[in-house]
Structure 1
Amino acid sequence: MDVQGGRMRRRAVWQRDPVLLVPAALTGVIAVAAVLTPPPLPFTRLLVIAPALAASLWAVWPTLALGAACALGVVWYAVLYGHWDDLMFTVSSIVTVTGAAAYASHLRRQRERTLGQVRAVADTTQEVLLRPLPRRVGQLETATLYLAAAPHAKVGGDFYAAADTPFGLRLLLGDVRGKGLPAVGVAAAVLGSFHEVAYEERSLEDVARRLDTSMGRYCGSRSDLEPSNSNSDSDFGTDAEEFATAILGEIGHDATHLSFLNCGHPPALLFHGDVVRSLDPQSVSPPINLAQTLGLAYSVERAPFGPGDTLLLYTDGVTETRAPDGTYFPLERWARGIPAGVAPLELLTLLHEALLVQSGGELNDDIACLAIHHREEKA
């Protein structure tokens, strides 16, 4: 059963990716050409190509098996047709290339395994930092979209979180200044703090102040460990230059209104029927970790949020997505074309597709989106 199962799995692999059959097909084509052409045309010498090509597609043992088959085929061809002139040269060439190809295949497989482990770590890191959101909380339905700009990365400087607290569903979405691992570290500090204070503090102002304190402590501790940080090539400079823009939101258990606090972040969009409203803050609140530096206080605002409404939070990677001609993505204009009452997951799917069209398939910045939909009560 195990042998048969292994054969079935291998057959399924060939069917999913026919390119894997190219080395074997090439061997067959060269063999036929060698048989059908006159001896002055030594097509058998071309068989060295097959194991060399197999090294980029196959594992070590199949590569060795193909090389052995090519060498034996040349010997069989010489015995059958009596062409001994270049037998030793061709066979030795095939053996040498096959050995080198098998070693190259071994190295490739090692790199693939290492990359697989790195991706597994990245997946785990994403699950730890960006905890999965509950799809439904009471009358609220949620969905998220996260796209990291770095190749093979799963986490960047953008972040989101939600917590079903005694005060209602609390939301956080933001963007750390800078990129790379330093930004991921700051995002982790902010998210860790949010998942604690969201359940403890009664007001969003107090939540924001606690996040500001936590981020300041984290950045300060990192500066103590890296005294030469200001002279390095890091994306971050001094502590005063390290900050994160963010939006904090709270939807009470009665789900009749939205309280939000905008910390220097792009305004959220509120879908109400066929109307799309940008929730531009009426008062200025400082980015996280800049409250003391700027001497500003955090200010909470409110907006109606009833059945059928949808809230979209996003980072600047959305609005700064450029077309080949340099124009930015027109988010509000795009949003006005979305049907009323669309589900959060469908909304973010449509947004992702629109961003890919806008950028020609090349998104060059981290993107995080969080959509909340108030489901209408069924009669």
Structure 2
Amino acid sequence: MTQAPDHGRAHWLRRLVAALPILPILPILIVSGIVLVDLIGGSGMTWLPLLAAGPALAATTNGPRGVLCVGLLAAAVGAVLGVRDGAANSELAVVLAALMAVTLASCLASALRGRRERVLAAVRSVAEAAQHALLQPVPATVGPFRVAVRYSAAAAEARIGGDLYALVSTPYGVRLIVGDVRGKGLPAVGTAALVLGVFREAAYDEPDLLTVVARIERSLARNLGSDDFVTAVVAGQPRPGELEVVNCGHAPPLLVRDRVVVPVEPDRPAPPLGLRTLSGESPALQVLPFADGDQLLLYTDGVTEARNHAREFYPLAEGLARHTCDEPARTVTALHDELLAHVGGRLHDDAALLLLHMPAAAEVPVTRPPSGADRLGTYAP
């Protein structure tokens, strides 16, 4: 005999739990607070118009159904309190009409907000797809290197910007590029896509790193305006223990050796990509020793030109010296978190960090073909 009532109570409980996400908690608390003040103060119609704050606030966080629930609740409570306080019918009617008008307007505002959020979500998904196509994910290990990358676009809603990076394994060794396109927005993204496309193609085709840079330069000269350019560092490992670096007007990479951070200044300054015809100068190839345990950090000016509230630049070299370790991902994450803390949580320019680490022999796992006990599943280093 008790099963039917229990079943009914369970049904209503499930409906209440399902409705909880729809019911805005804070606006209901505000309505409840106004009711409590009216009951305690007994001030007649003084507080009842404030009930409109409930549906107005609900429109900022909830959908039209939640706003309507709060509006109806406020109207019902207002009617009960108005009758209790002995309010004139005309005054009560005006208050209730105002409540319903605010509720309907808030429902419309909530519906428009939801539509904008859906459009923004669609734009973000397209931007994420574009970012994955443009800035392809870099694996943790490329060739003999361990690698970590961190990228933040200044336009957080867009997820992409004018900074660029790529790292590929080619028949001529591992090659990489980190660059910064002048300007922001879609034109900068288009230029970044052009540079990366030419780099990935030329890195596989050209045995000489300077020829790779020359191909990028020729492509930009055909496609960019006279005021557009790209600063970039192109690097490669032609032989074990060495790195070739070509700096085209970009910030100098930071070399970490024995926990000491040293900027890699170019032997001969060169103009940014796209401006060679104006200056007549060609970039130079710089060869660096890069032994076991060495690390090289490439970055864009969005990192070094980030300012705090005191207008002080972020000290990247000091931060790298503090956070450097044998795990590139942890180092880059610590640098990025410290950078955000330095600027107060929001970057005003695109920022990219790429850390290249040559692990020591002790850090590289040694494997050999299974034999003997190894065939039974036992690993013997």
Fold shared per TM-score above 0.5: yes
Cα separation, 1, equivalents of 2:206 and 2:25: 62
Q: Once the 2 structures are TM-superposed, how far is the Cα of residue 167 of structure 1 from its aligned partner?
A: 1.3
Secondary structure, in 3 states, of the residue corresponding to 2:329? helix
The residue aligned with 2:336 is 352
Equivalent residue for 2:120, pick from 115, 119, 143? 115
Question: Which structure carries more relative contact order (alpha carbon 8 Å, separation 6+)?
Answer: 1
Equivalent residue for 2:199, pick from 194, 198, 202? 194
* Contact 2:143-2:174 at 8 Å conserved across structures: no
1:278 is the counterpart of 2:263: yes
Q: What are the residue-to-residue correspondences of 1:226-237 with 2, within 5 Å?
A: none
Cα separation, 2, equivalents of 1:126 and 1:325: 33
CA distance change for structure 1 residues 6 and 123 in 2, over 3 Å: closer, same or farther? Answer: farther
Cα separation, 1, equivalents of 2:262 and 2:13: 60
* Contact 1:39-1:83 at 8 Å conserved across structures: no
Secondary structure, in 3 states, of the residue corresponding to 2:149? strand
CA distance change for structure 1 residues 242 and 5 in 2, over 3 Å: closer, same or farther? Answer: farther
Q: Once the 2 structures are TM-superposed, how far is the Cα of residue 130 of structure 1 from its aligned partner?
A: 0.9
Cα separation, 2, equivalents of 1:168 and 1:303: 15
The residue aligned with 2:56 is 52
CA distance change for structure 1 residues 370 and 11 in 2, over 3 Å: closer, same or farther? Answer: farther
Cα separation, 2, equivalents of 1:196 and 1:8: 57
| Equivalent residue letter for 2:72 | A
> What does the per-residue CA deviation read over 1:143-184, in whole Å, with 9 as the maximum and x for residues that have no partner?
112122235232222111111111111100011222332222
CA distance change for structure 1 residues 138 and 110 in 2, over 3 Å: closer, same or farther? Answer: same
* Contact 2:44-2:87 at 8 Å conserved across structures: no
CA distance change for structure 1 residues 142 and 101 in 2, over 3 Å: closer, same or farther? Answer: same
The residue aligned with 1:367 is 351
The residue aligned with 1:230 is none
Q: What are the residue-to-residue correspondences of 1:1-379 with 2, within 5 Å?
A: 20-38=24-42, 40-77=44-81, 85=89, 86-219=91-224, 239-252=225-238, 255-339=240-324, 341-378=325-362
Structure 1, unpaired ranges of 5+: 15-19, 220-238
Cα separation, 2, equivalents of 1:168 and 1:289: 26
| Equivalent residue letter for 2:236 | E
Cα separation, 2, equivalents of 1:75 and 1:176: 63
Q: Once the 2 structures are TM-superposed, how far is the Cα of residue 267 of structure 1 from its aligned partner?
A: 1.0
Q: Once the 2 structures are TM-superposed, how far is the Cα of residue 28 of structure 1 from its aligned partner?
A: 1.5
The alignment of Structure 1 onto Structure 2 pairs a total of residues equal to 351
Cα separation, 1, equivalents of 2:83 and 2:198: 77
Cα separation, 1, equivalents of 2:40 and 2:306: 58
Cα separation, 1, equivalents of 2:15 and 2:129: 29
CA distance change for structure 1 residues 126 and 101 in 2, over 3 Å: closer, same or farther? Answer: same
Cα separation, 2, equivalents of 1:283 and 1:343: 32
Q: Once the 2 structures are TM-superposed, how far is the Cα of residue 204 of structure 1 from its aligned partner?
A: 0.6
| Equivalent residue letter for 1:132 | P
- Return the index of the structure with the highest Cα Rg: 2
CA distance change for structure 1 residues 8 and 218 in 2, over 3 Å: closer, same or farther? Answer: farther
CA distance change for structure 1 residues 263 and 96 in 2, over 3 Å: closer, same or farther? Answer: same
Q: Once the 2 structures are TM-superposed, how far is the Cα of residue 356 of structure 1 from its aligned partner?
A: 2.7
Q: Once the 2 structures are TM-superposed, how far is the Cα of residue 327 of structure 1 from its aligned partner?
A: 3.2
Cα separation, 2, equivalents of 1:346 and 1:313: 16
* Contact 2:309-2:343 at 8 Å conserved across structures: yes
Secondary structure, in 3 states, of the residue corresponding to 1:175? strand
In terms of mean alpha carbon deviation, does 78-87 or 267-276 score higher? 78-87
Cα separation, 1, equivalents of 2:39 and 2:64: 29
Cα separation, 2, equivalents of 1:9 and 1:114: 26
| Equivalent residue letter for 1:44 | L
CA distance change for structure 1 residues 251 and 26 in 2, over 3 Å: closer, same or farther? Answer: same
| Equivalent residue letter for 2:67 | T
Secondary structure, in 3 states, of the residue corresponding to 1:328? coil
Secondary structure, in 3 states, of the residue corresponding to 2:154? coil
Cα separation, 1, equivalents of 2:194 and 2:250: 18
Q: Once the 2 structures are TM-superposed, how far is the Cα of residue 316 of structure 1 from its aligned partner?
A: 1.7
* Contact 1:306-1:374 at 8 Å conserved across structures: yes
Cα separation, 2, equivalents of 1:241 and 1:104: 44
Cα separation, 2, equivalents of 1:143 and 1:65: 50
| Equivalent residue letter for 1:149 | A
CA distance change for structure 1 residues 207 and 58 in 2, over 3 Å: closer, same or farther? Answer: same
Q: Once the 2 structures are TM-superposed, how far is the Cα of residue 362 of structure 1 from its aligned partner?
A: 4.1
Calculate percent identity across the aligned residue pairs. 37
In terms of mean alpha carbon deviation, does 27-36 or 38-47 score higher? 38-47
Cα separation, 1, equivalents of 2:237 and 2:19: 52
Q: CA RMSD in A?
A: 2.7
Q: Once the 2 structures are TM-superposed, how far is the Cα of residue 67 of structure 1 from its aligned partner?
A: 1.1
| Equivalent residue letter for 1:122 | A
